[in-house]
A = this chain, B = another copy of it.
Amino acid sequence: MRFLITNDDGVHADGLYALKKAIEHLGEVVVVAPERQRSGAGHAITLNEPLRLYETKLPDGTIAYGCSGTPADCVTLGTLEVMQGDVDLVISGINHGPNLGWDVHYSGTVSAALEAVMIGHPALAVSLSTFSTDTHWSTAAAITLKLVNWLIDNPIPPHTLLNVNVPNVPLADVKGISFTRQGPRQYVDRLEKRLDPSGKTYYWLSGTIADHQTADDTDVTAAADGRVSVTPLHLDLTDHALFSTLHKIII
Chain A residues packing against B (C-beta within 8 Å): 37, 39-48, 50-53, 70, 72-73, 76-77, 80-81, 102, 104-106, 111, 114, 118-120, 146-147, 150, 156-157, 159-160, 176-182, 184, 186, 190-191, 193-194, 200-205, 217, 230-240, 242-243, 246-251
Contact = CB atoms under 8 A, between A and B. Distances in A.
Contacts of A193: 81
A160 B202 CA distance: 30
Please tell me how many copies of the chain the complex holds.
Answer: 2
Contacts of A50: 194, 202-204
Given A76-B205, A80-B190, A234 B239 contact: yes
A161 to B, nearest CB: 9
A106 B45 contact: yes
Given A232-B238, A236-B182, A239-B232, A114 B105 contact: yes
Contacts of A202: 50-52
Given A80-B190, A157-B242, A236-B182, A47 B53 contact: no
A81 B189 CA distance: 11
Contacts of A120: 186
Most buried by B among A46, A72, A102, A240: A102
Contact of A43 (B43, B46, B47, B231): B43
A201 B199 CA distance: 45
Contacts of A105: 43, 111, 114, 118, 235, 237
Contact of A247 (B114, B180, B246): B180
A88 to B, nearest CB: 19
B237 A177 contact: no
Contacts of A176: 250
A127 B112 CA distance: 25
Contact of A242 (B156, B240, B242): B156
Contact of A179 (B156, B178, B204, B249): B249
A247 B203 contact: no
Given A43-B44, A80-B191, A180-B247, 7 more contacts: A40-B45, A44-B106, A51-B202, A51-B204, A177-B251, A181-B243, A234-B239
A190 B111 contact: no
- List the 6 shortest-distance A-B pairs measured between CB atoms, nearest first: A42-B43, A234-B239, A40-B47, A179-B246, A50-B202, A42-B42
